[in-house]
Structure 1
Amino acid sequence: MAMRQTPLTCSGHTRPVVDLAFSGITPYGYFLISACKDGKPMLRQGDTGDWIGTFLGHKGAVWGATLNKDATKAATAAADFTAKVWDAVSGDELMTLAHKHIVKTVDFTQDSNYLLTGGQDKLLRIYDLNKPEAEPKEISGHTSGIKKALWCSEDKQILSADDKTVRLWDHATMTEVKSLNFNMSVSSMEYIPEGEILVITYGRSIAFHSAVSLDPIKSFEAPATINSASLHPEKEFLVAGGEDFKLYKYDYNSGEELESYKGHFGPIHCVRFSPDGELYASGSEDGTLRLWQTVVGKTYGLWKCVLPEEDSGELAKPKINFPETAEEELEEIAAENSDSIYSSTPEVKA
């Protein structure tokens, strides 16, 4: 039975949300960080979207944000020519790493001892966080600004993307192993450690490559320009979002489109699955983050499935308990998704 998505809307940002990342699963659950052009990255509880805190200190748009595995540290990349490392528990700034141009991307090693950065000056930098005064190691070779840089293969290699090229580097020798060239701008890149899969989006394409060899695995074409895509941890589904304000969900094995619906009131810039695969988050030009269920109607986080017999014989429908949810927004999005079996919006409890 088809059930309509009832997203949790996370407000608080005042400008477009351009990047988001989940932590691993910790004893306290998992966490979500968002990067925004308002210069104020935010930390949230990952399964509910509840705001925990805002990292204050950047003097320009924040283009990239990440958490380490256990969510004890955060890192941000900004237009003020700095990357910053933060204590994600207290919110305190731990260090500011000066760059020569806008910084777009940050990524911790698994042990949180090193930070990889990339940006408009076309250089990859590796900082030893235990020696903040030491000069970073630099890797040159990109011919345009770096959009994304990620550790891979247990931190033995690095993946990085500039405008139309994805490159694989050896960490030990700091040399390029292989590169992929595209005929249009690469909009996003995600690395899946289990199975060493690289997800790349460009134009309307969502392409999957081996992260070890860069060899192609498969690719999908979406109906609109895609800005970001994410593969489910169990590799069952992938989700993507882009310029037409819609979210698309595909079966990874068959390529079949399973769902598509208006997700936001502006282009979608970033989508990511949670580490347990139960939900995915999207960030948009409209300034909001939204959390969506992978399996609609399941009781999880703030979602509670109401079974038909509990609900006056009506069809089962998901309900959410979410304070300060903008009901009109949900109704407007619901109205756009008219292929649903409902004529009215699933109830949102305040």
Structure 2
Amino acid sequence: MRPISLRLHERPITQVLFNREGDLLFVAAKDKLVSLWYTTSGERIGSYQCGGVVYSIDVSQDSKFLITASADARAKVWDVQSGRELDSTDFEVSARSIEFSQGDKQILVVTDQVMGCQAKIHVFNFDKDEVRKLSLSYTLPSPQCKITQATWGPLNKTIFASCEDGAVRIYCTEKRELIKTILDHNKLVTRIEWTKHRIMFMTCSKDGTAKLYDTKTLKLLRTFDTGRPINAAGISPTKPHVILGGGQSAESVTTTKVDASQFKVRFFHIVYGEELGGLIGHIGPVHSISFTPDGKTFATGGEEGLVQVNHLDESYFEFDDDLIYNPPVQH
């Protein structure tokens, strides 16, 4: 399995994301660019120029619209094909996270806690026929700490927020209030990742662990301990496997002796919790991991601005095919 290396961005990658069909790869970075690539060949299609560091992106189910959240305190809607900016919404502080609801009827935007402003989750109505008229639907109560990411729960009935204080907060979108707080991490939660159909979700944390939960009961099913900060997870849609990536922060890397092996992405079996292997491809912390919907390809983005696209070979899919997949239970 030889990866395709995508070299364009001059600053750290913040997110890699495949569209619903898996044929397009979107890459966001701190150099104010979002680039678009063909998944199969690694050929660059074009880019979208934002006014600040791009922290978060998402693409509509029909791949017609791209949304971006950036440090210039703006959330933008783009036409994917033409690259035109269709709408821009201004905030008082940086927009940290953005995501389409399931069905693309709404968009959530997280704004930062900075300069006396509280972190907030804003929900906008989105109409594909009137893109230039985004309207604010509601704003959720602030958790009184920084939110690193927010994501829609099953059927858009809830919104999950990963927070700086190590908590995952769950909000009811109907009542528009906090209904549950999960306090299993002791450091910042960097990312929430869903399994296919959102039956389970995984949290990643600077405390060196990733935790798998049952979405309905919120029961902790499995803890994966890597011994180093985890920034990203990619859960296979076809195999009971998860890929974890991270590493020491950029500040630590410049002051201590490290080797590239600590930045490898590591494969774990979801059921048994065992490490299956790893891939070395980055020379800095890994910030984002994404699988194609068919589970045949995954991409990673790192601190050095490099994106690696890995097309999994047949031997991977023959591995542990005889195992029966059942959700694990942690006692």
1:157–1:170 Cα contact (<8 Å) kept: yes
2:289–2:299 Cα contact (<8 Å) kept: yes
2:149–2:190 Cα contact (<8 Å) kept: no
1:1-350 pair list within 5 angstroms: 5-25=1-21, 30-56=23-49, 58-121=50-113, 122-130=119-127, 132=133, 134-163=135-164, 164-181=166-183, 182-202=185-205, 203-243=207-247, 244-295=262-313
Aligned equivalents of 2:134, 2:64: Cα separation in 1: 21
What is residue 321 of structure 2 aligned with on the other side?
A: none
- The one-letter amino acid of 1:170's match is C
- The one-letter amino acid of 1:178's match is K
Aligned equivalents of 1:70, 1:134: Cα separation in 2: 21
Tell me the number of residue pairs that the alignment of Structure 1 and Structure 2 aligns: 291
Q: Offset of 1:119 from its aligned partner? A: 2.6
Aligned equivalents of 1:174, 1:22: Cα separation in 2: 30
Q: Offset of 1:297 from its aligned partner? A: 6.2
Q: CA RMSD in A?
A: 1.9
Aligned equivalents of 1:233, 1:227: Cα separation in 2: 20
Aligned equivalents of 1:222, 1:24: Cα separation in 2: 30
1:152–1:193 Cα contact (<8 Å) kept: no
Aligned equivalents of 1:87, 1:239: Cα separation in 2: 31
| Secondary structure of 1:142 counterpart | coil
Q: Offset of 1:204 from its aligned partner? A: 1.5
Deviates more, 1:88-97 or 1:204-213: 204-213
- The one-letter amino acid of 1:272's match is S
Identity %: 25
Q: Offset of 1:39 from its aligned partner? A: 0.5
What is residue 316 of structure 1 aligned with on the other side?
A: none
Deviates more, 1:255-264 or 1:74-83: 255-264
1:104–1:119 Cα contact (<8 Å) kept: yes
Aligned equivalents of 2:198, 2:124: Cα separation in 1: 27
Aligned equivalents of 2:174, 2:161: Cα separation in 1: 16
Larger radius of gyration: 1
Q: Offset of 1:233 from its aligned partner? A: 0.5
Q: Offset of 1:175 from its aligned partner? A: 1.4
1:64–1:105 Cα contact (<8 Å) kept: yes
Aligned equivalents of 2:316, 2:243: Cα separation in 1: 18
Aligned equivalents of 1:133, 1:140: Cα separation in 2: 21
Aligned equivalents of 1:201, 1:226: Cα separation in 2: 6
| Secondary structure of 1:266 counterpart | coil
Q: Offset of 1:223 from its aligned partner? A: 4.0
Q: TM-score, normalised by structure 2?
A: 0.83
Aligned equivalents of 1:109, 1:9: Cα separation in 2: 31
Q: TM-score, normalised by structure 1?
A: 0.78
Aligned equivalents of 1:298, 1:167: Cα separation in 2: 36
Deviates more, 1:65-74 or 1:187-196: 187-196
1:39–1:62 Cα contact (<8 Å) kept: yes
| Secondary structure of 1:194 counterpart | helix
Aligned equivalents of 1:210, 1:142: Cα separation in 2: 23
| Secondary structure of 1:154 counterpart | helix
1:20–1:64 Cα contact (<8 Å) kept: no
| Secondary structure of 1:32 counterpart | strand
| Secondary structure of 1:291 counterpart | strand
- The one-letter amino acid of 1:145's match is K
| 1:276–1:194 Cα change, 3 Å | same
1:153–1:212 Cα contact (<8 Å) kept: no
